[in-house]
Amino acid sequence: MRLNVVCGLFIVTAGILSSTAELFANPLENKRLHENSLLRFVAIYSYVADLPTAAVKDKLVDVSQTQGRQYSTRVQQDLQIALLQRLSNHDPNAALEFALGREEDESEIFVQTVFDVWATIDREGVIDHAKSLSWSVRNQAMESIVRANLQIPLANLRDIAVRLNLEKKQAVTYYQHIVNVELIEDPKTAWYELAEISKQDNASFSDNYNGLMSRLAIQWFKRDGFEALDEIHAAPNEVYYKGVSFSATLEFYAQESPRFVFDYLLERPDDQYILSHVLRIWFEQDRSAAIKAVEEIESNDLRYDLQYTIASIWAHREPRYILQNLDVIPEEVRYVAIREGVAIIAESSLQEAGDCAMQIEDSSSRTIAIQALLPIWSKKDPNSLLDWILKDSSNTRLIDELREQLVYHTLDSDPVRAFQLAREHPIVDWEPGWGGQIRKSQLMIPSDTPGVGLEAQILRDIAESDLDLAKELLADVRDGITKRVAMLQVGRALRYQGDIQEAIDLAQELTDTEQDWYFSLIIFDWIKGDPSGLVDEISTFPTTETRSTVAQLLLRWNRRYDQLTDRQIDTLQKHLTEDDRDRLHFPW
């Protein structure tokens, strides 16, 4: 607020107030002031205008100490601001001292009030007083200086930021928030100046520079038309944001002539990344024309990309219509519309989203819809997911198709039912990693071994969260390799928890060959996690061969990492069989 404006407030309001007899008689205590902002404004500024200059500071202090005792809260707050504005006009140092002395929740707005007035009177005074104050106060001083001095070059404002012990970028930040680019007489020159500044500041990813240059480019385009656009496009590559400015300008013009901009970009292959933005604008204005234009594009890849955009936009705007009329979307991108539509409806109602998905006639599309809904439902209301999908017995085929996804999406919320579903899942050939869990090579199983049941795969997750439940479920795991892997999962969890003897006892159901396999894998984990603890427990392993295997593996490991003591090494050597002792003479 400039000085003449601030002073004018105190003069004009006095004249307005004189015509309001009720307020004139009792200007600040009238109850209507609390609710009527105009009357409150008139009363307060008239009152402050009538005060002698010498009395302003004392009145400000007095008002700040009479919280709730004389004036309403709103009158109190606005009166302090008005008094502080007037004090800032004739004694800004005292005004700043008062503002800085207030509680934090008040101080910020008071400091802004002081600097906003002071910056219009004495910019140098603001700089001198603020440069040694806190970071937040210096920033407020910078903002007020920018607000009061938009007419001076941005380069000068950046120099002021340095004098305030701030980064030059702070000046640009405040400038872009405050400036009205429509008032800039030469946006072209301003655009190039800011391009140079952005290069100096290494601000290629700053939203502040990005936004301001785009706004300047649009003003330049308004003045010079496509000549401006061509010049922006032809600017040297080191000019930051030329691509963003080019895009923003075309998107601006697309509001007026989307077809023209769309065709313009079709002739410029290097700039077709902007087409999807323009298409969104056009789709909102004339859906049919936008769709038809995309259908006529010869390039398969470009046509697909833009049809993808249309599918996403349309499903986002009208999800229910799209899910009921999927034939309006090209088959190649129909999955996009399905996923988007289901997700949008699920934001407000999982049940409605589920009903819409189930009502899709085409089975493939219906499956896509349910697949999209499962992770959303499991996140928002996991306890009801299985009840919803299992309530209709006619969904058997769909459930079989989605069983594995259902298992993983309900594993955390209902591990028992997830396990039951997993047991009903057919055992299929191995897949690399089981979604990131254990690979066949990690299990040391021959390559021609059939797959492992899904229940064994998820038992690891169950064991990590509820080991007792995992042990209980182990009895229901299908026999064969599935059972052995499930035992390994539980055995590993027991070892991690420190239940060594129980992990060893668990292996008693296995054959000698299977025990060697079981212990070898547990030992590998154990060596990596707690080699000294494994040395201490070696005597608990059930057979001489197993103890020797443990000792051999530990000694080989120590040969590389050298972390065991001589005493531990002696202990291990006592458990070696002759064959394993001989093997240690050979390097890995």
Average pLDDT of the residues in 454-480: 94
**pLDDT band of 586, cuts 50, 70, 90:** low
Query: What is the predicted pLDDT for the residue at 237?
Result: 72
Average per-residue pLDDT in the chain? 87
Query: What is the predicted pLDDT for the residue at 24?
Result: 45
Average pLDDT of the residues in 149-160: 94
Q: What is the DSSP string of 25-51?
A: HSTTT-GGGGT-HHHHHHHHHHHHHHS
Average pLDDT of the residues in 528-551: 88
Q: How confident is the model over 71-87, as pLDDT tens digits?
A: 777 888 888 899 999 99
Phi-psi region of 530 (alpha: psi -120 to 50; beta: other; left: phi over 0): beta
How far apart (Å, rounded) are the C-alpha atoms in residues 130 and 133? 5
Q: How confident is the model over 188-231, as pLDDT tens digits?
A: 999 999 988 888 888 766 788 889 999 999 999 999 999 999 99
Max mean pLDDT range (25-29, 335-339, 504-508): 335-339
Determine contact, residues 340/363, Cβ cutoff 8 Å. Answer: no
pTM for the full model?
A: 0.74
**pLDDT band of 12, cuts 50, 70, 90:** very low
Query: What is the predicted pLDDT for the residue at 430?
Result: 56
Among 119-123, 231-235, 344-348, which stretch is predicted with the lowest mean pLDDT?
231-235
Whether 15 has a pLDDT exceeding 50, the answer reads: no
Helix (H) or strand (E) holding 258: helix 258-266
How far is CA 222 from each of CA 181, 186, 248, 265, 469, rounded to the nearest angstrom?
12, 12, 13, 19, 70
Phi and psi (nearest 5°) for 297?
-70, 130
How far is CA 9 from each of CA 4, 87, 412, 509, rounded to the nearest angstrom?
9, 14, 65, 93
Max mean pLDDT range (196-200, 251-255, 457-461): 251-255
- Determine whether 406 is exposed, middle or buried from the number of CB atoms within 10 Å of its CB (0-12, 13-18, 19+): buried
**pLDDT band of 491, cuts 50, 70, 90:** very high
**pLDDT band of 107, cuts 50, 70, 90:** confident
Query: What is the predicted pLDDT for the residue at 46?
Result: 84
Distance between the two ends of the chain, CA-based, in angstroms? 80
| Listed residue (319, 296, 316) closest to 306, CA to CA | 296
Query: What is the predicted pLDDT for the residue at 284?
Result: 95
Whether 241 has a pLDDT exceeding 70, the answer reads: no
Query: What is the predicted pLDDT for the residue at 11?
Result: 46
**pLDDT band of 494, cuts 50, 70, 90:** very high
Q: How confident is the model over 402-420, as pLDDT tens digits?
A: 999 999 999 999 999 999 9
State both tokens at 335. 């999955």
Average pLDDT of the residues in 578-587: 76
Query: What is the predicted pLDDT for the residue at 6?
Result: 52
